[in-house]
Structure 1
């Protein structure tokens, strides 16, 4: 009997709560759903508007997402207020929990702070080729906690943003520099070798036409005159272009009968 009385009391309480607050709960749900839809629409509209005005895609995505979160926060406060729940203690509790969590996850917060710095200062944008922390690739995504690069092998490289901010960063837009060194015999005609290498480089597909290649004598070795070659090529075809350049230069020097010496030493007996 005691259990039945407790069940009846619970039932009566639930019925009374449903009758008293049903409209408020229904209204809060409607407010939340409409607010969610409205936040998504406004966030998307802000992002599209910024992209249409040729604003960096990374900053556009961040601003659109931030707009959505701000509107959602306002909607949640309104929905809770409609039910009769005071948000002041909730905000205080969230603040206290956030402070404790912040002390516990300082490393993660450092990534978010660094990501915010990258988005605001824009040392690179989506589509740029960067080299940092010994890795290089095309920037695919810039998120608050990390940045994703894609290399020539279509490998996704995820770098925590705190390892990017404050480090030496190389940004070469959509291309990467290729540096080669070719040794020829001291008896070679320097002007002829320069012309042969220049024509060989020009014949390789993928070499940048906007930035002229730099070709000339780099240094004088023990057994050879060493020519340096510096050309620009798309990052997504870096190694493909590099190997094609080596093949084209080697074949051109052979066809021109230019000697590529091997290391040797002259010993004189006294």
Structure 2
């Protein structure tokens, strides 16, 4: 009984060996041809992709858009070469395409959030509301754009933190893009007896004297409001995002030094308390 089982197993192995040998002998040239076509196609895809990137760089087009187009070209070429290789082996791609379509539909229903991020990423790359190096603020989160991917956008701030924002939360939302600078907006009070024009000139000169403040945008200094304490002076100027707090603190120090040197004081709120017997 054992010898019969062993003979059957040996016979099955022999049948498999014969089948593989026949397949290799009959389709060896087709297999080699398909592999050669696939390798050549991958080589061509890489060459064309690199050429596309070089052309984008030559014409100073955004690197993110260049990478997206080059990757898309590479994928399309490899897909076409793969179809040709399968045809070389005598495999019909029509049922395979139908199966891929059905699987894609099911995967799309299961991965709606991820596909929404990818669709938003394509929109960002094509429309380019911002590029790498810009300072953006979205839903209260601000930073410098470090990388734009299909699924998410990565920001960085002065602390070196990496902030990942899914692209679906960017497209369709209110987006602030201040390019490489960020706005500093501050207010303080002066006495009504103080000459506001003198204060405005002192503050403008003090802010412009700090090297970190943008020299291409003139600081905005003026009377912002009136209140019971005094005249409220508003100060607005732009500093590089990657050194926002450092430049802001230095500019504020320059402002307070200029006010003190001119004997201009910032009034404090006064509260009167009456005690009744």
TM-score normalised by L of structure 2? 0.92
Give matches, 1:96-175, under 5 Å: 96-175=102-181
Alignment of 1:7-22 (within 5 A): 7-22=13-28
Q: Does the C-alpha gap of structure 1 residues 138 and 229 become closer, same or farther in structure 2, counting only changes over 3 Å? A: same
Instruction: Return 5+ residue gaps in structure 1 as ranges.
Output: none
RMSD, aligned CA: 1.7
Shift of 1:267: 6.2
**1:213-252 residue pairs with structure 2 within 5 A?**
213-252=219-258
Q: 1:176 aligns with which of 157, 174, 182?
A: 182
| 3-state DSSP of counterpart to 1:261 | coil
1:205 & 1:3 partners in 2: Cα distance?
A: 85
On the 8 A contact 1:127/1:139 being kept in 2, the answer is: yes
CA distance in 2, matches of 1:221, 1:27: 85
* CA–CA separation in structure 2 for the residues paired with 1:101 and 1:143: 21
- In the alignment, is the contact (CA less than 8 A) between 1:132 and 1:164 conserved in 2? yes
Gaps of 5+ in 2: 1-6
**Alignment correspondent of 1:29:** 35
Aligned partner (choices 49, 52, 58) of residue 55 of structure 2: 49
Shift of 1:58: 2.0
Asked if the contact 1:188/1:259 (under 8 Å) is kept, the reply is no
Shift of 1:189: 2.3
Q: What SS class does the counterpart of residue 140 from structure 1 fall into?
A: strand
**Larger-gyration structure (1/2):** 2
Bigger mean CA offset, 103-112 vs 260-269: 260-269
Instruction: Look up the match of 2:9.
Output: 3
Is 100-109 or 25-34 further displaced after alignment?
A: 25-34
With normalisation by structure 1, the TM-score equals 0.94
Paired residues of 1:138 and 1:149 also in contact (CA < 8 A): yes
